[in-house]
Structure 1
Amino acid sequence: MASKIWKTFTFFDSSAFKIPMDEFQDEGSQITSMCSGMRFILLGLSNGNMVAMSSKYRKTILWKAHDARPITHAICLESRRVLVTVSEDLINPPEMKVWMLSGSEKRTSSFQLQSTLQINTQTIFPMTCFSITPDLSDVAAAFANGVVILVRGDLVHDRGSKQRVIFESDEPITGIQFAEENDSYTLYVTTVERVMTIKTSIRGHIPPPRVLETIGCALGCLTMDKASGNVLVARNDALYYYGPDGRGPCYAYEGSKSFVGSFGSYVVLLLPPQVSSSNNTIGATSVRNIIGTKRENVFEISTLVILDTELQFIAHTEPFTGGVKGILYEWGDIHILTSDSKIIRLKEKSLPDRLNLLYQRDLYPTALKLAQKSAITSTEITQINCRYADFLFSKGDYDNAMQQYVQAVEGTQPSQVIRKFLDIQRIPNLIQYLEELHRHPGYVTTEHTTLLLNCYAKLKDVDKLEKFIRADTGQRFDLNTVILLCRQAGYFAQAVYLARRNSQDDVVLDVLLDDMRKFHDGLNFLMTLEPYVMHRNLMKWGRLLLDEMPKETTAIFIEYYSGKYIPREELSGDDSAVSQPASSGLQGYLSQFPYLGNPLSISLSATAAPEIKTPPTRIFPYQPDAPQTVFSLFVDHPLEFLEFLEATSVDTNNPETLLELRSTLFEMYLHHASQGKIETCEAWREKAREMLKKDSADLDTSDVLLLSHLCGFKEGTTQVREDQQLLFDIFRSYTTLNDTAGAMSALRKYGEIEPQLYPVALAYLISSPKVLEDAGDELLKVLEVIEKEGLMAPLQVVQILSKNNVATVRMIRKYLSGMIERERQEIQQVCYFDFSSLGEAH
């Protein structure tokens, strides 16, 4: 039955030694008792001698302990370096002696007698067992007639003692054992039918025994488990522990038992040879079971079993033929004295050897428990976890395999574990491992974070993703990698949260504008940034924002390049609350950013910047770049460009910048005048004329001339030439276009300033019949002015008029008549002058 419950191993190595009995044994004497302690194995002989043997089973100390009476019991109190021996002959009362070991070296050590005491009994019965307290203040002796005697006193210093019977029964006593409970001693007493406790520390009246169980045990089947402080009772069906509260745990192990011992972490059982089934449940052990009183049957086989009750396995089994005289524990080994004077030494294998035995049978859970019980390093335990995990994985038990990998995360090769579970697409298991890996910063890499977030995304586990991101206050991952992954997986709100929390303002705008296409939110966030950061992002996203929100974006450009930009304050969470479904994962993140929930209102006009609804508290002095740097952004937005130019040209103090802004603005006016609708063309021309009148000093003359020429804006060229006194150029601009009316108008306007325009006009008027016809009577007026002002000699006028046949004599008759009359008068005057001079001479 036991083999079905307890797994059996061979955790001990067995070696046999022959005791040199001839060194200390007289003829006919036998070993009648044995104990261990104080680095000795002590043997009590039937002739009253005691022998102390070394670890090599050689005699170290031999002395006469009792006179010619067999020593039937011996106990060592190692803490006090005391040995207690009891001798019996069934004629006289038992004799107890207390010995103390003196000397620190084995060669010079000896046992010194401290006290001798006869245990008073009314009738002589064999002493079945006895026990002493650790301080040697109490000694209990139990007899086959059911009597228990308590001896109390200072036995070490031989200062007297008292004896009293504390228990009597018709049943033989099979075991007694002192146990310390709550700073007092309790004596456990077993018979073949009962398990009892007696409070021995109470002075005076000792209360009656308390019965814990109405089933007892065989002789030798009661012991103290020093590790737990409880007593252990071995019965045919199981092992039972008893403590202050009564019966504790029990472990089923069927079979007759003649001995139980608790050695270290093991329980040692001696199973006697199989007997007839007619025997009772307690066993066939004789009440008079005194070691070595008779030689056992050499053909009978006893079995030693070493149990680990905590881990539920058999650590070793060892068969013996011919019987066992005693079992001891010393030097960390178990020693078994056989009836043929041999000692079988069982030495526990090293922990690695024991673990290897378990590995061979794939008993990894047991190996783990054994390793933990043995208090080895955590590194060694993780190696076992890894072995166990690999085994479970090979069997297809992936869930439990992952549990082991998680426990051994510091001892694993992450890449190998990850590859295993990726190959079989066990994503939930992989998440378990990666999450545990992230709890160990020294082992996690950005690649692991990447994979974990990818797994969350693949399973669409937004809750875990958010929890992972929110919980990371110590920055356990690569921020850029995580943000990139969130964006690639479509978790834009999470990306915004991370970027905002880590002051990655550029990334916030990238996500809002490029991924989420939330232009209003993006623009309002942009308005909260410091000037240079805002400008950098405005240059990056200005074209897109102009496409989507032209009016608002133009206002931001105007405010910045006018030098009036002040970052906005983010609104409080209460002011920015927006009603959203509770299940919205995005809203949980939007609530972190007021500018994403309730954007700032922007009031725009041709020259006004956005209205600041919240009083700004952050002022950052800055020097804006030249407005020309953003001209290219307005390529597809000419009206907004005009608005920008008009506003910035007003607030610009740099002469060079102002000149370029004015010229560009003039160009835009002319562009709209030439490209716009007929009904609006005159309005744009009027703006250009007004600009020429008021701001001509801030315009580049060559630009105005070129632009006016290209756009057919005569007023522009005329104004420039007037400003520069290029009157001939103005006149020629009309004549070049055969604009006779314009030319005559210019002649009337500028003729007084520049009279030489009249000869030029004369040549123009007779250049073609059409021009002359269009001019009407202007030819005569020109000739009159020339004649009046004497701008040309008559001959020169005639020569010009005679170059072609355009001007007829009829047309210029009046001029010619007047010219001839003037010439005649001049001749007469000359002649008169000459005759007068001659007359005076004579």
Structure 2
Amino acid sequence: ELIIGRPEAVYFYEVDGRGPCWAFEGEKKFLGWFRGYLLCVISDQRTDKNTFNVYDLKNRLIAHSVEVDEVSHLICEWGNIVLIMPNKSALLVVEKDMESKLDMLFKKNLYSVAINLVQSQQADAAATAEVLRKYGDHLYSKQSYDEAMAQYIHTIGCLEPSYVIQKFLDAQRIYNLTNYLEKLHEKGFASKDHTILLLNCYTKLKDVEKLNLFIKGEDGVGEHKFDAETAIRVCRAANYHEHAMYVAKKAGRHEWYLKILLEDLGSYDEALQYINRLEPSQAGATVKEYGKVLVEHKPHQTIQLLLKLCTEGESQKTTGAADGNALSMLPSPVDFLSIFVHRPLSLMVFLEKYIDRVKDSPAQVEIHNTLLELYLSNDLDSLSVSQSAETVSSVPRSNTAKSCSSDEEKSFQKRREKGLVLLKSAWTSEQEHPLYDVDLVLILCETNYVKEGLLYLYEKLKLYKEVVGCYMKAHDHEGLISCCRRLGDSGGGDPCLWVDLLNYFGELGEECSVEVKEVLRYIEKDDILPPIVVVETLSRNPYLTVSVIKEYIARKLEQETKMIEEDRIGIQKYQEETAAMRKEILDLRTNARVFQLSKCTACTFTLDLPAVHFMCMHSFHQRCLGDNEKECPECASEYRNVLEMKAKLEQTGRNQDYFFQQLRDSRDGFSVIAEYFGRGIISKSSSRGSGN
């Protein structure tokens, strides 16, 4: 640029032509340019004095002015301004540092100049913000709040927001505060607390338009300007539910969206539709959290939703069963049991529909356990009444109690029937183990006294004495005898049940003659107890007379008499045979034997010498016997059998374990001991033992 000084003004010329001019009166002796400043030595014709001025053209102010004598040269070197006088003296003008300049400007309240100064010097953002802050404080002190806020907004990013917010928390300056917080969010320097404060400002001002713009924004920009959870909390607290739901949906905060729908708006149908649109994993977690509320208000729809989550969907409905791998990846119904804690009937419906669709669930045992607990429990009666209250309310008052009682009884009986069907179908004769926890179901049946269930389980577990005990506890004599007929069969049951039954009637303390006669018939049939034990057992019941056991005793006496007679005949026969054997032995020892056979017993040829005669009256050629001349070939096999039997009996006598095993397995232990004595095993073993 070219600068020309004339008395009326200073002119600037550029390549394109004449530029701006500055009207400075006086004759221009010297002109210069130093770091953006215009240097002029001006002579005042009226006073004949020279003045050296430093002009800051950008800020339109005189940065420095001093009277000087005649100047011969104006030099700008070494970062300084040097004025050389004719008398060989010099004036050195040094530029002040930035801090000194700003302090001087602040004292003169020239804040706009200070701002321009730091900007022209390309100072850092922190220095600029500090100047802007002081300018804002100056305006704030003069109660120019709008202008002050304009300066504070420029400090965003450098100045701590709390400094500004603290000044404008007064309700009368809420508009300025709102403006500042908006800019704070736009520039991305807002925290959760700032979001809460801004939303509170909008709600206090009831400025729905700005709230919509901030929350919704265009192209979803709003979701990046604030913390979603914070915005949801504030909008929800201020009853701006629509805005809170919008933020929750955009941010994917399903739990907040549903919490507003269910707790604030009570829109249960909309909540179920929303859950249906979620991913299965998200839907499952959401139902676990809010399922109790949904089941309470929309049980049918909630059950349908759970069935959709726990099964494979429409394709599975047609097939009726799911693939094992697919089922293992689906949520288990057991995971959702807690949401039915106050709605057991709804839980029962859910599990029934599930097992109808899925036949081989990995959680089959747990599901059956829960269903059996619901079916067999007596605690659902009051709940059934409360759930049917709407139906009952339409009945006339006089018939309400009767109808309610009838409905309760029907519901109770229906559940019991379902429980017994499940109890038996989940443990059939083909299955080695049941599809439920036997111990748990036993406790349920015992607690709620489900007699048929107890009998079935005890019988499956082969606990026959417990089966009989159930009938005894119920005083069901007919069922008791029928049970013993079925389970007390000696072919595969436990005959001792008849003994327990006889003891029961013996201690019953009431008339039971017909039942006792029936029991005695089976005891007599299988010969389970001796008559003396039967008589002793029944004698404890004072209501039983001798006539009850008269026929039984008569038959037993007749049977015993017959057995005694048979034994007597057998003894007589054995005595006669023994006497004949002894006589024969004596004859062999004392008298000679005459052998009159003329033919060989082996070859049937005429007997000639040398010949061998045996005491059994058999004769043989010596050549027919070979080397075996000590025993008769005809009688040897029979004799060896006798010897083997004798050796076996002696060995059996020494085997005590086998003896006691026979004693335990036999119905009549006395007969076993008598047999051992009869064979001479025990006495012979004893004599050997005493000899040793």
TM-score band by shorter chain is: 0.5 to 0.7
Corresponding residue for 1:690? 421
The 3 A distance-change label for structure 1 pair 355 and 634 is closer
Q: Distance in 2 between matches of 1:259 and 1:390?
A: 43
Q: Name the SS of the counterpart of 2:377 in structure 1.
A: helix
Letter in 2 for 1:405: Y
Q: Which amino acid aligns with 2:377?
A: H
Do structure 1's residue 639 and structure 2's residue 339 form an aligned pair?
no
What residue is the counterpart of 2:136 in the other structure?
A: 389
Q: Is the 8 A contact 1:673 1:681 kept in 2?
A: no
Instruction: Return closer, same or farther for 1:270/1:729 CA change in 2, 3 Å cut-off.
Output: same
The CA distance in 2 between the partners of 1:533 and 1:364, in whole Å, is 58
Alignment equivalent of 2:214, drawn from 446, 451, 468 = 468
Q: Is 1:400 matched with 2:139?
A: no
Query: Which residue in the other structure is 1:802 paired with?
Result: 539
- 1:711-790 to 2 correspondences below 5 Å: 711-750=448-487, 752=489, 754=493, 756-772=496-512, 777-790=514-527
C-alpha displacement at 1:825, in angstroms? 6.2
Distance 1:542 1:710 in 2: 30
2:423 is aligned with what amino acid? Answer: L
- Residues 543 and 633, structure 1, Cα contact 8 Å, conserved in 2: yes
Q: By how many angstroms is 1:552 displaced? A: 2.7
Aligned position for 2:322: none
- Which of residues 548, 555, 568 is equivalent to 2:297? 548
Q: Return the alpha-carbon distance in structure 1 between the equivalents of residues 543 and 417 of structure 2.
A: 40
> For residues 567-604 of structure 1, what are the alpha-carbon distances to aligned partners after superposition, in whole Å with 9 as ceiling and x for unaligned?
9xxxxxxxxxxxxxxxxxxxxxxxxxxxxxxxxxxxxx
> Does the residue aligned with 1:422 lie in a helix, a strand or coil?
coil
Report if aligned partners of 2:509, 2:541 keep a CA contact under 8 Å in 1: no
User: What is the alpha-carbon distance in structure 2 between the residues aligned to residue 378 and residue 764 of structure 1?
Assistant: 106
User: Mean alpha-carbon deviation: is it higher for 421-430 or for 260-269?
Assistant: 260-269
How many Å separate the matches in 2 of 1:351 and 1:831? 149
Deviation at 1:687, TM superposition (A): 0.9
Aligned partners of 1:531 and 1:620 also within 8 Å:
no
User: Retained in 2: the 8 A contact 1:673–1:685?
Assistant: no
| Residue 742 of structure 1, CA deviation | 2.8
Q: Would the alpha carbon gap of residues 510 and 78 (structure 1) be closer, same or farther in structure 2, given more than 3 Å must change?
A: closer
Inter-CA distance 397–736: structure 2 relative to 1 (3 Å threshold): same
8 A contact 1:708–1:714 mirrored in 2: yes
Deviations along 1:785-840, one digit per CA (max 9) or x if unpaired, are 44444444444433333344322134444445555565666677777888999999
The code of the aligned residue for 2:414 comes to A
| Cα displacement (A) at 1:303 | 8.9
Q: How does 1:580-599 map to 2 (within 5 A)?
A: none
The answer on whether the counterparts of 1:220 and 1:260 sit within 8 Å (CA) in structure 2 is yes
Give the partner amino acid of 1:705.
Answer: L
The amino acid that maps onto 2:360 is N
Residue type of the partner of 2:135?
Y
Matched, 1:653 2:360: yes
Counterpart secondary structure, 2:510 = helix
Among 536, 545, 549, the alignment partner of 2:285 is 536
Q: Which amino acid aligns with 2:422?
A: M
Q: Once the two structures are superposed, what CA deviation does each residue of 1:666-690 show, in whole Å capped at 9, x if it has no partner?
A: 1210115874622222211211221
**In 2, Cα distance between the equivalents of 1:359 and 1:833?**
146
Secondary structure of the corresponding residue to residue 342 of structure 2 = coil
User: Which AA in structure 1 matches 2:278?
Assistant: L
Q: How do residues 301-450 of structure 1 correspond to structure 2 at under 5 angstroms? A: 331=76, 352=98, 356-368=103-115, 376-377=122-123, 379=125, 381-422=128-169, 426-441=173-188, 444-450=190-196
Equivalent AA in structure 2 for residue 724 of structure 1? L
1:714 CA drift (Å): 0.7
CA distance 1:392–1:745, shift in 2 (3 Å): same
* Partner Cα distance (2:526, 2:422) in 1: 38
Residue range with higher mean Cα deviation, 675-684 or 221-230? 221-230
- Aligned letter for 1:732? G
C-alpha deviation, 1:385, in angstroms? 2.6
Q: Higher mean Cα deviation, 813-822 or 430-439?
A: 813-822
Give the direction of change, closer, same or farther, for the CA distance of 1:838–1:399 in structure 2 (3 Å limit).
Answer: closer
Aligned to 1:703: 440
Mapped to 2, the partners of 1:761 and 1:409 lie a distance apart of 97
1:383 to 1:765, Cα distance in 2 relative to 1, 3 A: closer
Match of 2:632 in 1: none
Q: The residue matched to 1:692 in structure 2 has which SS?
A: helix
Instruction: Answer yes or no: is the 8 Å Cα contact 1:223–1:231 preserved in 2.
Output: no
Are 1:673 and 1:680, in contact at CA under 8 Å, matched by a contact in 2? no
Q: In structure 2, what is the Cα distance between the partners aligned to 1:626 and 1:817? A: 68
- Does 1:226 pair with 2:6? no
Secondary structure at the aligned position of 2:426 is classed as helix
The aligned amino acid for 1:660 is: E
Q: Kindly state the Cα deviation for residue 404 of structure 1 after the two structures are TM-superposed.
A: 1.6
Query: Partner amino acid for 2:425?
Result: K
Q: How far apart are the structure 1 equivalents of 2:566 and 2:21?
A: 172
Residues 801 and 807 in structure 1, CA contact (< 8 A), matched pair in contact too = yes
- Offset at 1:468? 3.3
Deviation at 1:399, TM superposition (A): 1.6
Between the aligned partners of 2:520 and 2:81, the Cα distance in structure 1 is: 150
Per-residue CA deviations over 1:439-464 (Å, capped at 9, x if unaligned) read 444x5555544544444444344433
Q: What code does the residue aligned with 1:764 have? A: Y
Contact between 1:364 and 1:388, CA under 8 Å: does it hold in 2? yes
- Is the contact made by 1:530 and 1:620 (CA closer than 8 Å) also made in structure 2? no
Q: Cα RMSD between the aligned structures?
A: 5.1
Structure 1, unpaired ranges of 5+: 1-76, 80-130, 132-176, 178-218, 240-252, 274-298, 568-606, 610-618
Change (3 A) 1:710 1:400: same
CA positional deviation for 1:649: 4.2
Instruction: Tell whether the 8 Å contact from 2:245 to 2:257 is kept in structure 1 after alignment.
Output: yes
Taking the aligned partners of 2:334 and 2:49, their CA distance within structure 1 comes to 109
1:226 is paired with a residue of what secondary structure? strand
Cα 1:490/1:827, change in 2 over 3 Å? same
Structure with more helix by fraction: 2
Where does the alignment leave 5 or more consecutive residues of structure 2 unmatched? 319-324, 385-407, 428-433, 581-692
Q: Is the 8 A contact 2:531 2:553 kept in 1?
A: no
What is the deviation of 1:362?
A: 1.7
1:495-510 alignment, distance < 5 Å:
495-510=244-259
- The one-letter code matched in structure 2 to 1:740 is H
1:702 counterpart letter in structure 2 = D
Asked whether the equivalents of residues 39 and 52 of structure 2 are also in contact (C-alpha less than 8 Å), the reply is no
* CA distance in structure 2 between the partners assigned to 1:536 and 1:349 by the alignment: 72
How many residues get paired?
Answer: 525
- Which residue is 2:662 aligned to? none
Q: Evaluate the alpha carbon distance shift between residue 833 and residue 461 of structure 1 in structure 2; reply closer, same or farther with a 3 A threshold.
A: same
Equivalent runs, 1:168-187 vs 2, <5 Å: none
Higher-strand-fraction structure: 1
SS at the partner of 2:109? coil
Which structure has the higher relative contact order (CA within 8 Å, separation 6+)?
1
String of CA shifts for 1:712-761, please: whole Å, max 9, x gaps.
11101111233234444322321233332332343455455655544443
Q: Give me the whole-angstrom Cα distance separating, in 2, the residues matched to 1:315 and 1:770.
A: 131
Q: Structure 2: how far apart are the matches of 1:833 and 1:369?
A: 145
Paired-residue identity, %: 28
